[in-house]
Amino acid sequence: MTRPEYEIRADYDRETIVIYQAFGPQIALPALEKQTFVPPFSFQRMTWIKPSFLWLMARSNWGQKAGQEHVLAVRIRREGWDKALGEGVLTHSEKSIYPNSDEWHKLFGTARVHIQWDPEYSIRGSKLPHFSIQVGISRHLIEAYVRQWIVSIEDYTPLVRKLHKLCKAGQHANANKQLPPERPYPVSKDVVRRLGMKT
């Protein structure tokens, strides 16, 4: 079955959803200890959260990039995630959603949440013909993300290193079986329209 071009896939249950972020030890280790983010995590600039594990692996080079050595699985409340999606404005002026580019500029300039669709990646690091969502939480909403949405933070760095080692050894099929589970995430018709998710 062909996967939709725009679809949110995630590890989630009835009340929570897992998103991934990668940081250096100065941010990741205190976050694991406190089970939320604390300084030097910035509350003054946008933080990007994403539910695709392989997308983050491609962007962080399996946690090898400087400042992205620790991969965190942040379990947040679906209520917060859904709120972010409901407020999200695309980072580009999609004509099917914003016929008037001036309208998009106005909405984007005041949006508390930015949404970006990027190509998804395979476990081999190649781009796939469908897209993965990134959600940018602005400084106007970060306090809620940190203080209200986060349920737990788990260190996935050991898993990342294990999977990276398997991939380097050419054991992609074995690594693929050990990936965190992801399945289509249900969204409202309004979110489908708002985020350009063609059905």
Residue 1's pLDDT band, with cuts at 50, 70 and 90, is low
Share of the chain above pLDDT 70, in %: 99
Has residue 199 been placed in a domain? no
Has residue 185 been placed in a domain? yes
Query: How many structural domains comprise the chain?
Result: 1
Output the pLDDT for position 101.
85
Element (H, E) at 119: strand 113-121
Has residue 4 been placed in a domain? no
Least Cα distance to 149 among 50, 48, 79, 44 occurs for: 79
The whole-model pTM stands at 0.95
70-77 sheet: strands from edge to edge: 150-155, 70-77, 16-23, 9-12, 183-184
Domain coverage including residue 181: 9-194
How does pLDDT run across 59-81, given as a tens digit for each residue? 999 999 999 999 999 999 999 99
- Dihedral sign from CA coordinates of 180, 186, 191, 195: positive
Has residue 169 been placed in a domain? yes
Output the pLDDT for position 58.
96
